[in-house]
């Protein structure tokens, strides 16, 4: 089972993904988002899988005017972005990309 860890600091929600970032993990993150959250910082260092539900959630979060920072995103993220033809519409703010 995948789990997430979250920590809120001011208007930022820091998320660490352990396992998969899928529909279940997305729902866990959404439960921690309150009206005052403006930035989502997601660390994928311990993530082994991301699916389209996770990618679409992150895309929609940023497209709604919120800030998004991804650390150590898995290569699969970029493959899904290309498959969904989002690369021309989404400039990723990433850290720890090899």
Coil vs helix vs strand at 86: coil
Coil vs helix vs strand at 94: strand
| 60, pLDDT greater than 90 | yes
Instruction: Answer whether 53's CB lies under 8 Å from 25's CB.
Output: no
| 41, pLDDT greater than 80 | yes
pLDDT at residue 44 in the model: 95
pLDDT tens across 42-51, in order?
Answer: 999 999 899 9
| 11, pLDDT greater than 60 | yes
Q: Which domains does the chain have, with CATH numbers?
A: 3-95 (3.30.750.24)
pLDDT at residue 96 in the model: 60
pLDDT at residue 3 in the model: 85
Q: Give the pLDDT band of residue 98 (cuts 50, 70, 90).
A: very low
Q: 72: phi > 0 → left, psi -120 to 50 → alpha, else beta; which?
A: left
Residue 58: φ, ψ to 5°: -65, -40
Task: Report which secondary-structure segment, H or E, holds 40.
Answer: strand 39-50
């Amino acid at each position: 089972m995948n789990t997430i860890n979250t920590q809120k600091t001011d208007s930022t929600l820091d998320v660490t993904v352990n396992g998969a970032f899928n529909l279940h993990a997305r729902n866990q993150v959404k439960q921690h988002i309150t009206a005052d959250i403006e930035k989502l910082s997601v660390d994928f260092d311990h993530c082994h899988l991301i699916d389209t539900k996770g990618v679409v959630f992150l895309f929609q979060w940023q497209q709604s005017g919120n800030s998004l920072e991804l650390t150590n995103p898995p290569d699969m993220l970029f493959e899904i972005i290309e498959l969904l033809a989002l690369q021309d519409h989404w400039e990723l703010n990433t850290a720890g990309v090899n």
